[in-house]
A = this chain, B = another copy of it.
Amino acid sequence: MNTQTFDVTGMTCGHCVSAVSSEIQQIPGVTDVTVDLAAGGTSTVTVTSDTPVSETDVATALDEAGDYHLATI
């Protein structure tokens, strides 16, 4: 079991959390997604999966969910 966290920008409300969670859940191997919402700031998305998920897969899921992006460091 793998647990990874991703910093995500663009989420402002519970609807955004639902949209993002739903898309990331569809990445193969993902068993759980939790979001610590920082409305308008950088939210933390925690992904639990059988095998590690790639940043590319997460970024693609975010794009499919809406105008959400991995925070650049």
Contact = CB atoms under 8 A, between A and B. Distances in A.
Q: How many copies does the complex hold?
A: 2
A45 to B, nearest CB: 17
Interface residues of A, number: 9
Nearest to A15: B15
Contacts of A4: none
A39 B12 contact: yes
Contacts of A66: 14
A19 B15 contact: yes
Interface in A9-47: 12-16, 19, 39-40
A16 B15 CA distance: 7
Interface of A: 12-16, 19, 39-40, 66
